[in-house]
Structure 1
Amino acid sequence: MSTRSSGPDLPVRRIDRILAYMALGLTILSIVCFFAVIIARPLGVEDFTTGVWPLIVVLPLLALPIAFVMIVVLLVMSFVRRSRANKGA
């Protein structure tokens, strides 16, 4: 069982908030694009090589790994910050 320090919680930094919201936004956008591709086929879209469809098809392939890396960076930054705060207390 872990013990909790009696001191106040650490404030959330701006970079933490930005990384969290960007990762969330990229994940939601990727999921929406993924479902758009799934739904487009039964609706009669035959050609995914014209218009905005190439972007919609490729976006989840790029955005999901980027969002994952952002979440890992956010976790590492949080662990380092908490470790430094606990050493100082």
Structure 2
Amino acid sequence: MSTNSPADPPVRRIDRILAFMALGIALLSVICFFAIMISTAAGMTHAEYAHGIWPTIAAVPMFGLPVAFALILTLLIMSFVRRGKAGRS
């Protein structure tokens, strides 16, 4: 049941931005993780990962997934606070 009742506050622009940012960062991190797995299975050695774009591809999952998690937590906290304020009024 995804219908909005009159008591539900409308979805704000910042909520949508945070949701899409979290989804995009998490998706990019997972794609980079699978790229590393596939390249390792294809026979790339450890020394070959030190050149080109591979250091960046390796760093994206290390930093992207925690950032996406933090964005999701921020979105949840903002949503709970907004619903709490709407419920009190």
Indicate if the aligned counterparts of 2:25 and 2:65 stay in contact, CA closer than 8 A.
Answer: yes
Matches within 5 A, 1:7-86: 7-46=6-45, 47-86=48-87
Does the residue aligned with 2:49 lie in a helix, a strand or coil? coil
The structure whose RCO (Cα within 8 Å, separation 6+) is larger is 2
Verify the 8 A CA contact 2:19 2:71 in the aligned structure 1: yes
CA deviation after TM superposition for structure 1 residue 16, in Å: 0.3
The number of aligned residues is 83
Identity %: 52
Q: Distance in 2 between matches of 1:29 and 1:7?
A: 37
Per residue, is there more helix in 1 or in 2? 2
| Structure 2: gaps (5+ residues) | none
Per-residue CA shift, 1:7-50, capped at 9, x if unaligned?
Answer: 34321100000000000000000000000000001223221000
Runs of 5+ consecutive residues of structure 1 not aligned to the other structure: 1-5
TM-score by length of 2: 0.88
- CA contact under 8 A between 2:36 and 2:58: conserved in structure 1? yes
Q: Is the 8 A contact 2:8 2:86 kept in 1?
A: no
